[in-house]
Amino acid sequence: MKPFWRAIGALLLLVLVVLAWALASGSAAIDWADLPRLLFQPDGSAEAEVLHRLRLPRALAAIATGGLLALAGALMQVLLRNPLADPYVLGLSSTAAVGALGMMALGYGAWAINTGAFVGALLAVLLVFVLARHDMARIESASVADGSPRLLLTGVMISSLSIALVSLILSLAPTERLRGMLFWMLGDLSGVGSATPALVLLPVLLLVLMPFARDMNLLLRGPGPAQMLGVPVGRVRGVIYLAASLAAAVTVTTAGSIGFVGLVVPHVLRLLIGNDQRVLLPACALAGGAFLLAADTAARSWWAPLQLPVGVLTALVGAPLFILLLSRKAGRR
């Protein structure tokens, strides 16, 4: 258990350092030495108001959203046995975008937008699950091939249909609402109302998933060998799919569509700490939170007073980093 606690301790420290940077940074800088006092003994000053009303809720939302995205990415990579899978590979992001952008185009407020996004994501979950439920329980021989082809193809087709609907909505939407709709699609934490659902869901999912971590390790060898070793393949796949889908749905509802966190963070962590899901899953929750919080802090402070959508920055950092990792891995072969 020593490697587990070393990895978790280091990542916890990283989260705290990035959190302090996020709380101190902005158009009105706060001295790091004053952060503990302002956090635990707010004095009614302008700095305390900014800290508690604006920066702390946004920072907590970034930590929870990033943690859920990385956790969902790690789960989808186990389910599909493909390190290139991400939380949105089964169409959750695009269907959530249809629901959210539809509400925006009609002029509804934040509550309706979040509800539309969540309902859209859940519809994708149910549709993919119903159409590919037989693949979830299918037992195959050990192989490096994708163990759930129908699951993946169903998600791709749903995503393609949803992207067409998104394009239609954007084409018909009033001009004055297009900017907000585009920001939502790129991923944006500036308009986060409440991060409570994401903050609650992250530890709950970890508690539910950790007893299945050993079974996930065996499932990576293939459903056939896992079944022979006593893994209830259908049930484990169902738990993984539902947990990843719920995590992705809540993140899309909270902050829009943010790419590359769920793809890059698990991949980097595998290179650093290995592929044992008992260590990787909690590590993804912490590292994903730190990564997204750092990206959001940079997006809102480096170009101040201009604020960039955080999804733009995660793509600018994540895509080159992932290409570098792939090229290094290919060079070793």
pLDDT tens track for 186-243: 787 876 766 788 899 999 999 999 999 999 999 888 888 888 888 888 889 889 988 9
* pLDDT tens digits for range 250-261: 888 888 888 889
The mean of the pLDDT values for the chain is 84
CA distance 86 to 84: 7
* pLDDT tens digits for range 297-322: 998 888 767 788 888 888 888 888 77
More confident residue, 283 or 330: 283
CATH class given for the domain over 2-331: mainly alpha
Does pLDDT of 333 surpass 60? no
| Beta carbons within 10 angstroms of residue 127's beta carbon | 16
Q: What is the identity of the amino acid at 331?
A: G
Does pLDDT of 141 surpass 60? no
What tokens were used for 35? 């952060």
CA dihedral 211, 269, 222, 123 (to 10 degrees): 70
User: Which of 62, 55, 101 has the alpha carbon at shortest distance from 291?
Assistant: 62
Taking the model in full, what pTM does it have?
0.87
